[in-house]
Amino acid sequence: MTLPTAASVTRNPSQEQLRDWVLAHMSRVQVSEHGNIGYTTMVTARLAPSTAFVSDQPTGKPTMSRAEYEQWAEEQDAFIADQDMVLIEGYIGPDPDFRTPVRLLIERKSSNIPAMQQQLYFPVEDEAGFEEEHAEHGFTVIYTPGLLAPGKPDDRLIAVDLDHYVTRVFGSDYFGESKMGGLRMWNHLVHERGGLAMHSGAKVFPAEETGSGEEELALIIGLSGTGKTTTTFREVKGSLPVQDDFIGLMPDGTVHATENGCFAKTYGLDADDEPTIHGGAIDPEAWLENTRIDPITRQIDFFDDRYTANGRVTFPLAEIRHRDPRDLPKARYLFILNRNEDIIPAVARLRPEQAAHYFMLGETKGTSAGGAAEAGKRLRVPGTNPFWFEDDASQANRLLEILEQHPLEVYLLNTGRVGGDADDDRSKKVTIDVSAAVQAGIVDGTIEWETDPDFGYDVATSIPGIDDDELLQPRRLYQRQGRDEEYGELVERLRRERAEYLDGFPALDDRVRTA
């Protein structure tokens, strides 16, 4: 598309220039003792209620008419005419045969956002080639934090036009709307090409550590805040992170990466438990968002959530140990994360139909990443992907199709607790070390399994490095504590609620529904 006319446009400024603008012209900014910059936003999470797809037909998602969209586009273009703007150009994905050119046009007075986005795009090396690619199949994100949308939820708007691959953002200063502006449209593009875009991290286990003698790729899906990034970056058997947030899975098992950097949660970030992310977050090149920096000592406090627990950071992958996202091996494993608090085991092994079933359920406990409306609540988000563009049944149906063509080993991992919440002293936490032992057991093939009588998936009877069988089979914890009746009620409630939930998707493959 032709970009709107602005008072001025600075094309692809350097990180140094963006940093100078932030320090000179933005309030709510601090510099940490490490030299990286933190900004405190007015909007603290993505604005799902304010997001609408442009369509005159039902899409299965919130929509706005083409006529209304055009009115908002005109208003935004008129606003931009008087603004100094920044244009950031790059690619989603590094593969020349699959990468997608994308442009972000945003007000210069919010220069932290283009600075963060620049770290995630793969760079443009041939400007003329980029222009040709963008004209053919490029994305555009037009972003005006300073322009509200009166009458819309929170007086803000994210309008997604998939017909022209344009997203317009009004009134939010939260970086996630820029990042997802491109990746939400990429969901649609990958599906059109026969694959499945997944809200997923990716990591590789090196050849010398696998039973196959070859490098093995694992995909890790989960809602923001459920441990996806932690699981991805946690080193297990020499594993290396590839991506922390979005990938495309194709029918032959090929995996396409999306981002050249990381966008990680910072609340609770511990140097011992998550050394890779912690190291990235204190790098001078990193950009912090809603992460406490003491105004006197300039020290970063990753455990201060007085403003929000949804603190974030971006940093380039080049600043940490990682596996280059090019030329990846085909996917071998899929880990579906569920931050649960009662009867989900630390790990369960799933058949293909069960994999699509639990993928569709997308069960977890919500965190601050989804805003106050989700934090602490039991959620079901199909595919753990809140950015899907149509009837969510198409996600699970596509996954089942892919698993039938390229079988994966699929596992359900609980990253929460068993037996109750953190205030219940009868409960037990599934620690990061336990999750690491689970991954090692999967790669080594050393886990012993048996079929769970209630849910039909396989549960572990033993895993090297885990000596607590109640984490592996929660039924045992409830039996030991004399809570058999409570366990039975939970089983029946889950069965009933899951069936009722999936009945709300008529287009869902019956094999997925009944798995």
Query: Residue 332 is part of a domain; what is its CATH number?
Result: 3.90.228.20
Cα–Cα dist 370/91, whole Å = 26
Q: Which of 319, 337, 352 is the last residue of a domain?
A: 319
Question: pLDDT of 323-368, one tens digit each?
Answer: 999 999 999 999 999 999 999 999 999 999 999 999 999 998 755 4
Using the CB atoms, write b or e for 261-293: b if 16+ within 10 Å.
bbbbbbbebeeeebbbbbbbbbbebbbbbbbbb
Q: Are 190 and 240 in contact (CB under 8 A)?
A: no
Question: pLDDT of 436-458, one tens digit each?
Answer: 999 999 999 999 999 999 999 99
Q: Is the residue at 3 inside a domain? A: no
Q: What is the CATH number of the domain that holds 115?
A: 3.40.449.10
Number of domains making up the chain: 3
pTM: 0.94
Confidence at residue 342, expressed as pLDDT on a 0 to 100 scale: 94
Give the SS3 label for residue 90.
strand
Q: Is residue 389's pLDDT more than 70?
A: yes
Instruction: Based on the fold, state whether residues 344 and 484 are members of the same structural domain.
Output: yes
- Closest of 326, 231, 229 to residue 281, by C-alpha: 229
Q: Is the residue at 2 inside a domain? A: no
Confidence at residue 313, expressed as pLDDT on a 0 to 100 scale: 97
Instruction: Based on the fold, state whether residues 249 and 313 are members of the same structural domain.
Output: no
Confidence at residue 378, expressed as pLDDT on a 0 to 100 scale: 78
Q: Is residue 163's pLDDT more than 60?
A: yes
Instruction: Based on the fold, state whether residues 224 and 360 are members of the same structural domain.
Output: yes
Instruction: Based on the fold, state whether residues 29 and 168 are members of the same structural domain.
Output: yes
Instruction: Based on the fold, state whether residues 165 and 50 are members of the same structural domain.
Output: yes
Q: Is residue 372's pLDDT more than 60?
A: no
Q: Is the residue at 1 inside a domain? A: no
Q: What is the CATH number of the domain that holds 301?
A: 2.170.8.10
Instruction: Based on the fold, state whether residues 22 and 54 are members of the same structural domain.
Output: yes
Q: Which of 194, 217, 240 is the last residue of a domain?
A: 194
**Higher-pLDDT residue of 230, 155:** 155
Instruction: Based on the fold, state whether residues 266 and 287 are members of the same structural domain.
Output: yes
Confidence band, pLDDT 50/70/90 cuts, at residue 225:
confident
Instruction: Based on the fold, state whether residues 425 and 509 are members of the same structural domain.
Output: yes
Q: Which of 297, 319, 341 is the last residue of a domain?
A: 319
Give the bridge partners for 204, in sequence order. 217, 240
Instruction: Based on the fold, state whether residues 235 and 307 are members of the same structural domain.
Output: no
Q: Is the residue at 488 inside a domain? A: yes
Instruction: Based on the fold, state whether residues 70 and 168 are members of the same structural domain.
Output: yes
Using the CB atoms, write b or e for 91-121: b if 16+ within 10 Å.
bbbbbeebbbbbbbbbbbebbbbbbbbbbbb
- The 10 Å Cβ neighbour count of residue 180 is 26
Confidence at residue 114, expressed as pLDDT on a 0 to 100 scale: 98
DSSP string, 430-443: --HHHHHHHHHHHH
Q: Is the residue at 71 inside a domain? A: yes
> 165-174, 225-234, 264-273 — which one is most confidently predicted on average?
165-174
Q: Is residue 514's pLDDT more than 60?
A: yes
Cα–Cα dist 382/384, whole Å = 5
Question: pLDDT of 463-509, one tens digit each?
Answer: 999 999 999 999 999 999 999 999 999 999 999 999 999 999 999 99
How far is the first Cα of the chain from the last one, in angstroms, to the nearest whole number?
45
Confidence at residue 224, expressed as pLDDT on a 0 to 100 scale: 78
Q: Tell me the average pLDDT across 143-168.
A: 98
Confidence band, pLDDT 50/70/90 cuts, at residue 211:
confident
Domain that holds residue 305: 262-319
Q: Is the residue at 136 inside a domain? A: yes
Mean pLDDT over the full length of the chain = 95
The H or E element spanning position 75 is: helix 66-80
Q: Tell me the average pLDDT across 248-254.
A: 98
Cα–Cα dist 228/343, whole Å = 20
Q: Is residue 376's pLDDT more than 70?
A: no
Instruction: Based on the fold, state whether residues 349 and 448 are members of the same structural domain.
Output: yes
* CB burial of residue 318 (10 Å; 0-12, 13-18, 19+): exposed
Q: Is the residue at 79 inside a domain? A: yes
Q: Is the residue at 384 inside a domain? A: yes
Query: What is the percent of the chain where pLDDT is above 90?
Result: 94
Instruction: Based on the fold, state whether residues 226 and 169 are members of the same structural domain.
Output: no
Confidence at residue 368, expressed as pLDDT on a 0 to 100 scale: 47
Q: Tell me the average pLDDT across 52-81.
A: 97
Question: pLDDT of 395-437, one tens digit each?
Answer: 999 999 999 999 999 999 999 999 999 999 999 999 999 999 9
